[in-house]
A and B are shown apart, each in its own frame.
Chain A
Amino acid sequence: MTDTPTLAIEDLTVSFTSGRESVRAVDGVSLQVVPGEVVAVVGESGSGKSVTSMSALGLLPPTATTTGTVRVGGVDVTTLDGPHLRAIRGAEVAMVFQEPMTALNPAFTVGWQVAEALRLHIEDLSKKQALDRAAELLEMVGIRDARDRLGQYPHELSGGLRQRVVIAMAIACEPKVLIADEATTALDVTVQAEILDLLRDLRARFGMAMLVITHNMGVVADIADRVVVMYQGKVVEQATVEDLFARPQADYTKKLLASVPRLARGEGRNRTAPADEEVALSLEHLVVEFRGKGGRKNRAVDDVSLTIAKGEVLGLVGESGSGKSTVGRAAIGLLKPTSGSVRLLGEALTGAKGRDLRKLRRRCGIVFQDPASSLDPRMTVGDCVAEPLVINGVGDRAERVAALLESVELDAALRRRHPHELSGGQRQRVGIARALALDPQLVIADEPTSALDVSVQAAVLKVFLELQQRLGFACLFITHDLAVVGMVSDRVAVMNEGRLVEVGSRDEVLFDSREEYTRRLVTSAPVPDPADQRRRREERHRI
Chain B
Amino acid sequence: MSISAPVVAEPSPVPVAGSYRRMASQFFANRLAVSGLVILAALLLFCFLGPLIHHTDQTHTNLAGANLSPGQGGHLLGTDDVGHDELGRLMIGGQTSLEIGIAAGLLATLIGTIWGAVSGYAGGWLDAIMMRIVDAGIAIPALFLLLVTATILRPTVPVQIVIIGCVSWLVPARLVRAEALSLRSRDYVQAMKAMGGGHRRAVFRHIIPNAIGTVVVNATFQVADAILLIAYVSFLGLGVAPPKTDWGGMLSKGISYTYDGYWWMIFPAGIAIVLVVCAFNSIGDGLRDSFEVRLQGR
A170 to B11, CA, bound (A): 35
A268 adjacent to B1 (CB under 8 Å): yes
Known contacts: A455-B7, A487-B1. The answer to whether A388 contacts B209 by CB under 8 A is no
Near B by CB (< 8 A), chain A positions 207-224 give none
Residue B256 at the chain A interface, CB threshold 8 Å: no
- Convert B7-31 into 0s and 1s, putting 1 for each residue whose CB lies closer than 8 angstroms to a CB of A: 1101111011001000000000000
Return the contact of A391 from the options B1, B13, B196, B209 (Cβ within 8 A): B196
Give the interface segment out of B50-58, B104-112, B151-159, B187-195: B187-195
- Size category of the binding interface on chain B: 35 or more
Residue A169 at the chain B interface, CB threshold 8 Å: no
A388 adjacent to B195 (CB under 8 Å): yes
B1 adjacent to A262 (CB under 8 Å): yes
Near B by CB (< 8 A), chain A positions 257-280 give 258-259, 261-264, 267-268
| B209 neighbours in A (Cβ, 8 Å) | 376, 378
| B206 neighbours in A (Cβ, 8 Å) | 376, 378
A420 adjacent to B3 (CB under 8 Å): no
Give the interface segment out of A34-42, A87-95, A309-317, A359-367: A359-367
A44 to B9, CA, bound (A): 12
Return the contact of B196 from the options A368, A375, A388 (Cβ within 8 A): A388
A391 adjacent to B194 (CB under 8 Å): no
- Size category of the binding interface on chain A: 35 or more
Residue A374 at the chain B interface, CB threshold 8 Å: yes
A421 to B12, CA, bound (A): 8
Residue B197 at the chain A interface, CB threshold 8 Å: yes
| B210 neighbours in A (Cβ, 8 Å) | 376-378
| B12 neighbours in A (Cβ, 8 Å) | 422-423, 426
- Convert A415-436 into 0s and 1s, putting 1 for each residue whose CB lies closer than 8 angstroms to a CB of B: 0011011111110000100100
| B186 neighbours in A (Cβ, 8 Å) | 373-374
A431 to B188, CA, bound (A): 10
Residue B59 at the chain A interface, CB threshold 8 Å: no
A14 to B32, CA, bound (A): 35
Known contacts: A359-B196, A420-B298, A461-B3. The answer to whether A434 contacts B191 by CB under 8 A is yes
User: Closest CB-CB distance, B8 to chain A, in whole Å?
Assistant: 4
B13 adjacent to A258 (CB under 8 Å): no
Between A and B, 28 residue pairs with Cβ closer than 8 Å are A44-B8, A255-B8, A259-B5, A261-B1, A267-B1, A267-B2, A358-B196, A358-B197, A359-B196, A361-B194, A362-B196, A364-B194, A370-B187, A373-B186, A373-B188, A374-B191, A376-B188, A376-B209, A377-B298, A378-B210, A378-B212, A379-B205, A391-B201, A434-B191, A438-B195, A453-B10, A455-B7, A483-B1
- Using A255-B7, A361-B196 as known contacts, list a sample of 13 further A-B pairs with CB atoms less than 8 Å apart, ordered by residue number in A: A255-B6, A258-B6, A329-B190, A362-B195, A373-B187, A374-B186, A375-B188, A376-B206, A376-B209, A378-B209, A387-B195, A422-B12, A483-B1
